[in-house]
Amino acid sequence: MTRGPDTLAERSRRAVWHPCTQMKRHEREPLLAIARAQGPWLFDPDGHRYLDAVSSWWVNLFGHGHPQLRDALAEQLATLDHVMLAGLTHEPVVELSERLAALTGLGHAFYASDGASATEIALKMSAHSWRNRGRPQKCEFVGLAGGYHGETVGALSVTDIALFREAYAPLVRLSAALPSPDTRHAAPGEDAAAHARRCAASLEAYLDQHHERTAALIVEPLVQCAAGFGMHDPEYLRLARALCDRYQVHLICDEIAVGFGRTGTLFAHQQAGIRPDFICLSKGLTGGTLPLSAVLTTDAVYESFYDDLASRGFLHSHSYTGNPLACRAALTVLDLFEQPIDGEPVLAHNRRTAARLTALCEPLNAHPRVRAVRQLGMLWAWDIDDDGVVGFSSAYHLAAREQGLLLRPIGNTLYFMPPYVLDDGALEQLAGGALRALEVALA
Ligand SMILES: *Cc1c(COP(=O)(O)O)cnc(C)c1O
């Protein structure tokens, strides 16, 4: 018997170790090869198209193959591809740092290439800043139950997702994980704000005991995406800010997933009217084109490092820190936020898209197996009573593919995090296809 030509999927299984994947899963769930992408659509080699309803793992904002991003990157590539950022500088990194500072009220942008590295940088900067200020005992961190801040060893110390952490527990210095204001965990009859206040009281009790050893609290403002899109009331962030001030603890806002308009404002923490001590950005920062992350902080933190002694400096680097191509992509994304879509400012356009998709999702919301319907900005989530269906997430993913949709539930949480460029046809396909896929996956 002769063997046919290997498909790309088969070659991939042999040559590529895929991320966040038990590779054996692909015995039953074939890898999907993608040949090209345009707007919100992914195309397989046979020309079938799939709506990228998870923004390719939460990174894409304005669709794939955006002509402005493509042109800006081509021009940057022809001008300056890459240069080291220690001792040298360049226009894209300076301009991006200035613009991010103007947008956030924080500055001194420090760059890396992915979200987990941004977490590492914020944690190291926070503890080192306290050390430089004569308080080296402030070197512990606190996060929230279900928090996700990346999967490198340092980031895992503040990531409270057992599946990602258990095998590495001996390698990780675990941080405390305090009660999460995720409204799904509210007591019966307790509203979101009351639940937020109760969780803030736990934070207060913790800090009252441990503030002398605590450098920083790290939170995902408004939505804990990896925990299954747990959403909370902004009141929690206001109270956490006040407690961090009172107990001299840094507040780190991890906006890696929720930044760049996902929650309806450019940054999620803005809905609480607070200013954190650190902001971590990545994912949408380059609109889904190139890896880049940034950490922004206060003048006070920056000044605590500013000294004649090298050892008081922040001696951290990555080879591609401040890569000009990635910075140019990020600058173009900021430009795109200033340009109307269909005649409307981006966030206003998104509000209309969101209202339309929310209305189209009414039949899905009403499905008898759907629980905890929630939506914020351009994020939608539903918990599915899967009644113990083994492998619901995989079954759903395959059923959604049949509907021309890329959807990948987290456990039994189905969610949409689509790019901002969906026309009526795409919205109808998403809402209708998601419901049909649910019926297939539960059957
Ligand atoms: C994705 C994510 C990270 C990690 O980013 P990577 O680029 O995957 O390392 C950190 N925090 C949050 C909130 C995220 O969603």
Model pLDDT, residue 390? 83
Residues forming CATH 3.90.1150.10 domain(s) in the chain = 34-65+344-442
CATH class of 68-337: alpha beta
Q: Nearest residue CA, atom 11 of ligand 1? A: 149
pLDDT tens, residue by residue, 325-343: 999 999 999 999 999 999 9
230-231 and 223-224 strand pairing: antiparallel
Pocket flag, ligand 1, residue 226 (CB < 6 Å): yes
- The token duo for 191 is 């509203």
Any ligand 1 atom below 6 A from CB of 149: yes
Tell me, using a 6 A CB cutoff, whether residue 225 lines ligand 1: yes
Q: Tell how far the Cα of 440 is from the centroid of ligand 1, in angstroms.
A: 31
Distance between CA atoms of residues 156 and 165, nearest Å: 6
- Alpha carbon 48 to its chain centroid, in Å, reads 28
Which segments of the chain have a pLDDT < 70?
Answer: 1-5
Quote the tokens at residue 406.
């890329």
For the entire predicted model, the pTM comes to 0.98
How far, in Å, is the centroid of ligand 1 from the Cα of 321? 17
Q: State yes or no: 408 annotated in a binding site.
A: yes
- State which ligand 1 atom lies nearest to the alpha carbon of 115: 5
**Is any ligand 1 atom within 6 A of the Cβ of residue 417?**
no
Task: For domain 34-65+344-442, say whether CATH 3.90.1150.10 is its number.
Answer: yes
Domain with CATH 3.40.640.10 in the chain: 68-337
Question: 9 is written with which tokens?
Answer: 């999927």
pLDDT tens digit sequence for 230-279? 999 999 999 999 999 999 999 999 999 999 999 999 999 999 999 999 99
**Residue of 150, 149, 182, 236 whose CA lies nearest to 383:** 182
Q: Note the pLDDT of residue 383.
A: 98
Which pLDDT belongs to residue 4?
A: 57
* Cα(176) to centroid(ligand 1), Å: 19
The answer, yes or no, to whether any atom of ligand 1 lies below 6 A from the CB of 115, is: yes
Give the nearest ligand 1 atom to 255 CA.
Answer: 13
For residue 2, the model assigns a pLDDT of 45
